[in-house]
């Protein structure tokens, strides 16, 4: 399903510039106004979103009315899609006015120790904002982005997508296989690496159970953990009461020696539980991505572009990483 506001569009960047300059108390009202206007103007998109929410309400047993959720979803779009752009480079006071942040002290502790940290975030809400906040803290952070973004030249476009000279790029054909070693190297150098393991790049995929379906994820996540033994934190950004809510989990430590399989299984179970919880609690912050549509049954494996040239889907329980080049 196409986004209501694409982060790649000139309109979104223009609106992001408006949001950057607005007094904090006007940001949420503007997002609501723009969302309601788009809700009225885009009838087909509105019906698609309502259909998706009907299925989500059924699968997740949500008490909300699908039409009300669809309107709320539209109202959230401006703030969610422009969050990374409008907040990068802003002073701490702006973060205090627009954000509620939970769990950052544990991340600060790891950084003070000089160790690297793997920050996992799913395509939901404003996942990039959890990375932006770490950048604002002065932490050495790099993100993992799809390879096609490397060719993007516009400064504003690169800012909204959190692309800079430290970015590590994922090849379309190899999933996380090609950048695993650069990621591990960055972690060993004491950097914070943030990335979303869900998505449609590469063929080395596994399944995470989600609301009775199967949510595609990249197997390279567990290979990075095995090779780096770096601590892991799950971070997610949502909208709550007209403000950004940025949440960081407790630090999770893989074993320094021996197999990581039990740790990875526990990590997947934790990610599944928390991710499902966030979707239930903040359904208007959902992203209707291909993996989400597949998990909920809106898109089949056979018809999804995600699977046309990538037929092998390994289950996470097997932890079959394959050979890393």
Which string of DSSP letters, residue by residue, matches 239-264? EETTEEEEEE---B---SSS--HHHH
Residue 77: pLDDT above 50? yes
Provide the domain count of the chain. Answer: 1
Establish if 82 belongs to a structural domain.
Answer: no
Query: Using CA atoms in the order 202, 203, 208, 211, what is the torsion angle rounded to 10 degrees?
Result: 80
pLDDT of the residue at 325: 33
> How much is the average pLDDT of 27-51?
96
Establish if 297 belongs to a structural domain.
Answer: yes
Establish if 172 belongs to a structural domain.
Answer: yes
Residue 150: pLDDT above 70? yes
Would you place residue 284 in the very low, low, confident or very high pLDDT band (cuts 50, 70, 90)? Answer: very high
Establish if 258 belongs to a structural domain.
Answer: yes
Establish if 7 belongs to a structural domain.
Answer: no
pTM score above 0.85:
yes
pLDDT in tens, 194-218: 988 886 555 567 889 999 999 988 8
Establish if 28 belongs to a structural domain.
Answer: no
pLDDT of the residue at 7: 83
Percent of the chain scored above 70 by pLDDT?
Answer: 88
128: containing domain = 97-318
Would you place residue 322 in the very low, low, confident or very high pLDDT band (cuts 50, 70, 90)? Answer: very low
Residue 275: pLDDT above 50? yes
Establish if 233 belongs to a structural domain.
Answer: yes
Percent of the chain scored above 90 by pLDDT?
Answer: 69
> How much is the average pLDDT of 239-262?
96
Residue 320: pLDDT above 80? no
The two three-digit tokens of residue 312, written as one number: 């092998």
Q: Which residues pair with 230 in a beta bridge?
A: none
Contact in structure between 144 and 194 (CB atoms under 8 Å): yes
Establish if 264 belongs to a structural domain.
Answer: yes
Residue 303: pLDDT above 60? no
């Amino acid at each position: 399903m196409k986004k209501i506001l694409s982060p790649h569009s000139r309109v979104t960047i223009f609106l992001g510039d408006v949001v950057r300059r607005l007094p904090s108390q006007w940001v949420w009202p503007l997002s609501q106004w723009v969302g309601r206007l788009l809700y009225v103007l885009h009838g087909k998109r509105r019906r698609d979103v309502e259909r998706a929410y009907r299925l989500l309400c059924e699968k997740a047993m949500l008490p909300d009315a699908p039409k009300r959720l669809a309107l709320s979803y539209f109202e959230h779009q401006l703030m969610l899609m422009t969050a990374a752009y409008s907040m990068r480079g802003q002073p701490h006071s702006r973060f205090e006015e627009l954000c509620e942040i939970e769990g950052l002290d544990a991340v600060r502790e790891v950084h003070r120790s000089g160790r690297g940290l793997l920050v996992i975030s799913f395509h939901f809400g404003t996942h990039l904002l959890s990375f932006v906040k770490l950048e604002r803290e002065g932490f050495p952070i790099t993100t993992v982005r799809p390879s096609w973004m490397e060719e993007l030249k516009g400064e504003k476009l690169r800012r909204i997508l959190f692309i800079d000279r430290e970015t590590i790029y994922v090849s379309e054909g190899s999933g996380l296989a090609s950048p695993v070693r650069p990621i591990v190297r960055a972690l060993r150098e004491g950097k914070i690496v943030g990335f979303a393991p869900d998505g449609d790049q590469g063929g080395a995929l596994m399944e995470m159970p989600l609301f009775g379906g199967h949510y595609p994820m990249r197997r390279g996540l567990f290979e990075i953990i095995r090779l780096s033994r770096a601590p892991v934190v799950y971070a997610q950004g949502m909208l709550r009461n007209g403000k950004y809510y940025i949440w960081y989990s407790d630090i999770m430590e893989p074993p320094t020696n021996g197999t990581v399989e039990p740790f990875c299984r526990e990590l997947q179970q934790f990610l599944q539980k928390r991710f499902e919880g966030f979707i239930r609690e903040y359904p208007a912050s959902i992203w209707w991505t291909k993996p989400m549509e597949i998990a909920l049954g809106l898109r089949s494996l056979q018809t999804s572009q995600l699977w046309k040239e990538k037929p092998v889907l390994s289950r996470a329980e097997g932890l079959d990483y394959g050979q890393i080049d």
